Amino acid sequence: MSGQSTTRTVPGNGGSGTARAAGRTGQRLSGLAVALGMVLFLGGFAWGAVVYRPYTVPTPSMAPTIGAGDRVLAQRIDGDDVRRGDVVVFEDATWANVPVVKRVVAVGGDKVSCCQDGKLKVNDQEIDEPYLPEGTAAEFGNFPEVTVPKGRLFLLGDERSGSVDSTAHLADAANGTVSRGAVRARVDAVVWPMDGMLNPPTGFARLGALSEPGPLRTVVAMVIAGTVLVLGGAAYGPLAKRAGASRARANAGSPGGR
């Protein structure tokens, strides 16, 4: 008499092992993403804090480029790095006891005057100034020709009709000019409201090279990338673990072969 034997296959643990391996890989990738994200995030903030200083502009003398109450970020620079067209923050006791924001229109050795045909003139070149308020002309700041002494700067506000700038100090010993050493920073961007980077003063390009923007875009990109990696990495670990557990339960619940 022969008996019938039945062989039942017990579900193996290969699926759950694969799930655990996938879970461990996910956790490693998650930790790596979070760590890299923190480096970028904190590195971007640290770099920005070293390179930039925030300022609030209290008056409309730089409108429409910078309005009254706007918050700007200004790159810390040496006065020797200032070029024509830069919007700078400087401190001069003969002007005010607070930081002042104006645009550099002439540097040491330049001859500057205003205005003929509604244009600012530097070294006999008429300067196109698209940053002036729409519908106005440069002659609101009319003044005779000034030769800027070496090592000094001539500065104007973009709102020529109401700006207290070099034209208001022409009777001073320095003919309204400011020492390069008085410059503390160069404005790169308006951050509140978020108007973004200042437009390059291309009208001065015919007189020499313009200043290059600071690393603000790179700093912002680092902070954003760091934030994305931290949030994505933190979310990936739990999601990968949950997906692995779901696969393990599915494998455990599948019927065995006979």
- How does pLDDT run across 220-232, given as a tens digit for each residue? 999 999 999 999 8
Separation between Cα atoms, residue 25 and residue 128, nearest integer Å = 60
What is the reported pLDDT for 21? Answer: 64
Whether residue 2 is predicted with pLDDT greater than 70 in this model: the reply is: no
Whether residue 4 is predicted with pLDDT greater than 80 in this model: the reply is: no
pLDDT digits (tens, 9 = 90+) for 206-249: 999 999 999 999 999 999 999 999 998 888 766 666 666 666 67
Separation between Cα atoms, residue 236 and residue 242, nearest integer Å = 10
pLDDT digits (tens, 9 = 90+) for 79-90: 999 999 999 999
Q: What is the mean pLDDT of residues 54-81?
A: 96
What is the reported pLDDT for 31? Answer: 87
More confident: 250 or 152: 152
What is the reported pLDDT for 17? Answer: 62
Q: H or E segment at 185?
A: strand 183-192
What is the reported pLDDT for 162? Answer: 84
Whether residue 43 is predicted with pLDDT greater than 50 in this model: the reply is: yes
DSSP string across 40-68: HHHHHHHHHHHHEEEEE--SSTTTTTS-T
Please say whether the beta carbons of 75 and 185 come within 8 A: yes
Separation between Cα atoms, residue 20 and residue 245, nearest integer Å = 8
CA distances in angstroms from 164 to 47, 82, 126, 136, listed in the order given:
34, 21, 22, 17
What is the reported pLDDT for 93? Answer: 92
pLDDT digits (tens, 9 = 90+) for 121-146: 999 999 999 999 877 777 666 889 99
Separation between Cα atoms, residue 160 and residue 141, nearest integer Å = 5
Look up residue 170 and give its amino acid.
L
Whether residue 258 is predicted with pLDDT greater than 70 in this model: the reply is: no
What is the reported pLDDT for 136? Answer: 74
Separation between Cα atoms, residue 124 and residue 150, nearest integer Å = 18
